[in-house]
Structure 1
Amino acid sequence: MSDLTISRVEAVPYAIPYRKPLRFASGEVRTADHVVVRVHTAGGLVGTAEAPPRPYTYGETQASIVAVVDQVMAPALVGTSALDRSVHRARLHRTIGNPTAKAALDMAVWDVLGQALGQPVHRLLGGWTDGMRVSHMLGFDDPAAMVAEAHRMRDTYGISTFKVKVGRRPYRLDVDVVRALREEFGDAVELYVDGNRGWTAAESARALHEMADLGLTLAEELNPADDVLGRRWLVGRCPVPFVADESAPDAASVTRELLGGSATAVSIKTARTGFSESQRVLHLAEGLGVEVVVGNQIDSQVGTLCSVVFGAAHEATSRRAGELSNFLDMTDDLLAEPLQIRDGRLLAPTSPGTGVVLDEERLTRYRQDR
């Protein structure tokens, strides 16, 4: 095995526009202004991942991710071995917050380990299956436009599971959208909703009542978890699993939300918990007997590849469709070999590591620090 001593860490900001704005209750995204994180070893291996800043959710920006990696986290990792993952966790967690920066570093180190061992990371993590069914996120629009997008995703990629963004006021705007989707597709598609904390508990309850006949399978973050009593009241009346997402970004908060009655299911996003922390969250959820869904951070193909690596590795994460398709909304991407969704599924890579191989020409074209 080559020398796995970490010799250098780099953070490269880049920006690629989306084809259209992606709108939801907590914000709007027009450009993937992400950060490529690469971990270099003395033996010549390079692990790659990315950090997507979401200032309206975690407080991170592209500039803050670059700064914290360069100034704080890289010095903490350089000189350690890629095998020292517990050391890495302890050192990185001395810095409060910054979840996507920490996650990207963790996944880049796993990429190094997979390459060193000549094994795909999804097999090192568990190797349950070869891929995942795909769910597509539908952002705010009028009913006809959202139905048309769902048709395009189903006809082109075979996707039959849709996460519908809700949380607008009046709530009937979103009820009408979900009803239009169900009337158009019947039982041929799975539908679930995500409010991004946009409604109150009372609005959420009324909306769920009006959608009771539409066969929803999940409801995610309909109102803020900080509305402690209202959230518990709502979850106690929700007819489907109520998913904690941005309210439960780590294992400790997952414990708090589940045991406090503020959620009955968990969204796992490798973009914010990497592979190591995501496994902690998954094992906690399994121990408590709650369902999980692999979520999306409006990831590029780089982030999506890491999501399917983790999701395909475990039985629990592969039961439901993973949110793995929103890279299709980008005007370009960075992978040398683009991802292919076929028959509604995305396969995990079989090459050593996470399978992330960048097109260096594209990275040069889109990077923001030169």
Structure 2
Amino acid sequence: MKIVRVEAIPFAIPYRKPLKFASGEVRTADHVLVRVHTDEGLVGTAEAPPRPYTYGETQESIVAVVDKLFAPQVLGLTPLEREVVHERLERTVGNPTAKAAIDMALWDILGQAAGMPVSGLLGGYTDRMRVSHMVGFAPAREMVAEAERIRDTYGITTFKVKVGRRPYTDDVTACRALREALGPDVDLYVDGNRGWTPSDAARALREMDDLGLTFAEELCPADDVLGRRWLVARSPVPFIADESATRAAEVTRELLGGSATAISIKTARTGFTASQRVLHECEGLGVEVVMGNQIDGQIGTLCSVAFGAAHRTSARYPGELSNFLDMTDDLLTEPLTIEDGTMRVREGNGLGLRVDPDKLARYRQDD
């Protein structure tokens, strides 16, 4: 079975409301649907979400790099030759979500060919994950109202709170309001998207010490090398590296350099193959991981839960799997659901996803 074609289809689906955070905001899912076709008729599918303020990728750059560089390098290979595929893709620097989408599409093909779900091929630990929900910048009362709605509607009891505003006291006030409204049985952790200085982050953590935070993520830039090490050494909770640790080598650098004590894994930027490398590295070092969210649509979310549920370590904490709820529509024929605070792995061979051709025709941007 040979790879005979790779498609990169840009599409755009609006959000009901913008998700705002320290490094930017998202109003529309300007994503790219990636399909890998084989000569036996099997088609693997994945989604690449560009985040120019984090990785430098845009919708246009993903389409260009797939069409002009990546597709010609993988044509004629078999889906089993994933190491050869990665060797060729890595000749091009960066472009993490474009590379990840091709990798996950290949795994989708392998699952279909084997008659098995990808989650089972990856590890098969469980068939579901608990869900955490990201709460973006807004006045404190609006953040509380959103969290209460998500808890009451979907049974979600873990919330990742976007922080990093200036003055930092606005975020402290919001986190305190969330804790008071939601009570002690809800888990809260904070994500600064590099928005604070090390000193402001230290003050904020000190002032939130009584809130029982689970984690703190990327409160200040990794480029603030000494300041971040100083902050992490004083953090009362595990400090997660996210956008500063996108590859196994960066994970090594951040952990051994004292710039993080936990890692966020996002299949949208490391696919399944590189995500396993990061996961196993963290297991070997005794470091905790969480399944992060690239503000994915339902296709990307389906990939995240397939990977997260496949391994003991990644299934330990709730995964960030709910932000597709803010999109006005999606491409799947059968939408994902969240019940009792959990999401199940999609049944079926491969990733078990089916794209609605009418919706794709409606939202694609290349016609």
Structures share fold, TM-score greater than 0.5: yes
2:305 corresponding residue in structure 1: 308
- For residues 7 and 316 of structure 1, the distance between their equivalents in structure 2, rounded to whole angstroms, comes to 36
1:254 corresponding residue in structure 2: 251
1:87 corresponding residue in structure 2: 84
- For residues 227 and 285 of structure 2, the distance between their equivalents in structure 1, rounded to whole angstroms, comes to 23
**Post-superposition shift, 1:350?**
1.9
- For residues 215 and 34 of structure 2, the distance between their equivalents in structure 1, rounded to whole angstroms, comes to 33
Which of 105, 120, 125 lines up with 1:123 in the alignment?
A: 120
Which of 37, 43, 50 lines up with 1:53 in the alignment?
A: 50
Deviation per CA, 1:79-101, whole angstroms, max 9, x where unpaired?
00011011001011011000000
- For residues 185 and 167 of structure 1, the distance between their equivalents in structure 2, rounded to whole angstroms, comes to 21
1:6-155 pair list within 5 angstroms? 6-155=3-152
1:325 corresponding residue in structure 2: 322
- For residues 128 and 159 of structure 2, the distance between their equivalents in structure 1, rounded to whole angstroms, comes to 18
Query: Aligned partner of 1:137: which letter?
Result: M
- For residues 357 and 97 of structure 1, the distance between their equivalents in structure 2, rounded to whole angstroms, comes to 29
- For residues 139 and 315 of structure 1, the distance between their equivalents in structure 2, rounded to whole angstroms, comes to 29
**Post-superposition shift, 1:297?**
0.3
**Post-superposition shift, 1:187?**
1.1
2:232 corresponding residue in structure 1: 235
Task: Give 5+ residue unaligned stretches, structure 1.
Answer: none
Report the 3-state secondary structure (helix = DSSP H, G, I; strand = E; otherwise coil) of the residue aligned with 1:33.
Answer: strand
Alpha-carbon RMSD across the aligned residues, in angstroms, is 0.4
1:275 corresponding residue in structure 2: 272
Deviation per CA, 1:110-131, whole angstroms, max 9, x where unpaired?
0000000000000000000011
Query: Aligned partner of 1:350: which letter?
Result: E
Query: Aligned partner of 2:264: which letter?
Result: S
- For residues 127 and 237 of structure 2, the distance between their equivalents in structure 1, rounded to whole angstroms, comes to 28
1:354-369 pair list within 5 angstroms? 354-369=351-366
- For residues 230 and 369 of structure 1, the distance between their equivalents in structure 2, rounded to whole angstroms, comes to 45
2:294 corresponding residue in structure 1: 297
- For residues 50 and 182 of structure 1, the distance between their equivalents in structure 2, rounded to whole angstroms, comes to 35
Query: Aligned partner of 2:362: which letter?
Result: R
1:207-246 pair list within 5 angstroms? 207-246=204-243
- For residues 326 and 31 of structure 2, the distance between their equivalents in structure 1, rounded to whole angstroms, comes to 15
Asked if the contact 1:335–1:358 (Cα under 8 Å) also holds between the matched residues in 2, the reply is: yes
Show structure 1 runs of 4+ deviating over 3 A: none
- For residues 277 and 307 of structure 1, the distance between their equivalents in structure 2, rounded to whole angstroms, comes to 13
2:172 corresponding residue in structure 1: 175
Asked if the contact 1:118–1:353 (Cα under 8 Å) also holds between the matched residues in 2, the reply is: yes
- For residues 334 and 154 of structure 2, the distance between their equivalents in structure 1, rounded to whole angstroms, comes to 17
- For residues 186 and 151 of structure 1, the distance between their equivalents in structure 2, rounded to whole angstroms, comes to 11
Report the 3-state secondary structure (helix = DSSP H, G, I; strand = E; otherwise coil) of the residue aligned with 1:318.
Answer: coil
**Post-superposition shift, 1:355?**
1.4
- For residues 223 and 312 of structure 1, the distance between their equivalents in structure 2, rounded to whole angstroms, comes to 30
1:186 aligns with 2:177: no
1:201 corresponding residue in structure 2: 198
Query: Aligned partner of 2:303: which letter?
Result: C
Task: Give 5+ residue unaligned stretches, structure 2.
Answer: none
**Post-superposition shift, 1:16?**
0.3
2:155 corresponding residue in structure 1: 158
Query: Aligned partner of 1:35: which letter?
Result: V
Deviation per CA, 1:226-256, whole angstroms, max 9, x where unpaired?
0000000000000110000000111000000
Report the 3-state secondary structure (helix = DSSP H, G, I; strand = E; otherwise coil) of the residue aligned with 1:257.
Answer: helix
- For residues 161 and 141 of structure 1, the distance between their equivalents in structure 2, rounded to whole angstroms, comes to 18
Query: Aligned partner of 1:365: which letter?
Result: R
**Post-superposition shift, 1:196?**
0.1
- What is the TM-score when the length of structure 2 is the normalising length? 1.00
- What is the TM-score when the length of structure 1 is the normalising length? 0.99
Query: Aligned partner of 2:297: which letter?
Result: S
**Post-superposition shift, 1:346?**
0.2
Asked if the contact 1:51–1:101 (Cα under 8 Å) also holds between the matched residues in 2, the reply is: yes
- For residues 75 and 251 of structure 2, the distance between their equivalents in structure 1, rounded to whole angstroms, comes to 31
Report the 3-state secondary structure (helix = DSSP H, G, I; strand = E; otherwise coil) of the residue aligned with 1:315.
Answer: coil
Asked if the contact 1:34–1:52 (Cα under 8 Å) also holds between the matched residues in 2, the reply is: yes
